[in-house]
Amino acid sequence: MNEVSFSAKNIGKIYHNLLKDDTVALQNINLDIKNGEFISIIGPSGCGKSTLLRIIGGLDSPTSGTLTYSGEENPELGFVFQDSVLLPWKNVEENAGFPLKIKKIETKKNMDNLDNLLELAGLADFKKSLPRELSGGMKQRVSIVRALSYDAPLLLMDEPFGALDAITRDHLNIELLKIWDKTKKTVLFVTHSIEEATFLSDKVIVMTSRPGQIKEIVDIDLPRPRNEETRNSTDFSKYNQYLREMIE
């Protein structure tokens, strides 16, 4: 059995307001995620999906509760957001390897690993291209490689494909799973798309309306590797229907 990558115990988040009632964003969140799992979070708009991700990533603080990361206090985390946030004056290779430069760990081993990741993401022929020369999907692939470049064991993704068209999104879902399969990272993925969550995940966390709580954690027992045949399968449709009913 895989070891637990991180645990959330009784996490709550309240936003205090001077001119109106306080907003209870999250309440009594308890969650264990194991190393190497791909977990998606879905739920109604405003239920606290992104807030939970930000708390797990250390970008926000919980009002109550505790987080534990495999016994570490300050683990290495990788982030991918809806906006790729690439530096426009740096090329693909420079953007993807920027964390290595900042951390001053541009060793041969790390640079070779960066080359491998760029190859895996289909970006090997675009190393010298600037962001303005890339499509939206390619920019997001660069941001994924950047998040993996310094070997962070936990990858947090907040609707990374939300702004893309459906065809590009479906293609990048497959590319992401190929990268995940090769790197064996633990992934926590926030999405509004039930189909995307089903296609990608080992488990899907379904949250309630605000205050956000975990309504159910659904195991997705679909064979891997997943492809277009997966999307056309009866089981895929059944999971989507069940998750939709859970949210509605």
Q: Name all domains of the chain by residue range, CATH numbers in brackets.
A: 1-75+157-248 (3.40.50.300), 84-152 (no CATH)
**What pLDDT does 2 receive?**
63
**H-helix or E-strand spanning residue 204:** strand 203-207
Cis omega (within 30 of 0) on the bond before 211? Answer: yes
pTM over 0.85: yes
**C-alpha–C-alpha distance, residues 219 and 203, integer Å:** 4
Sequential pLDDT tens for the chain (248 residues):
467 688 999 999 999 887 788 899 999 999 999 999 999 999 999 999 999 999 999 899 999 999 998 866 667 889 999 899 999 999 999 999 999 999 899 999 999 999 999 998 999 999 999 999 999 999 999 999 999 998 888 999 999 998 889 999 999 999 999 999 998 899 999 999 999 999 999 999 999 999 999 999 999 999 999 999 999 999 999 999 999 999 98
233 to 203, 205, 207, 222: CA distances (angstroms)? 18, 22, 26, 10
**What pLDDT does 151 receive?**
82
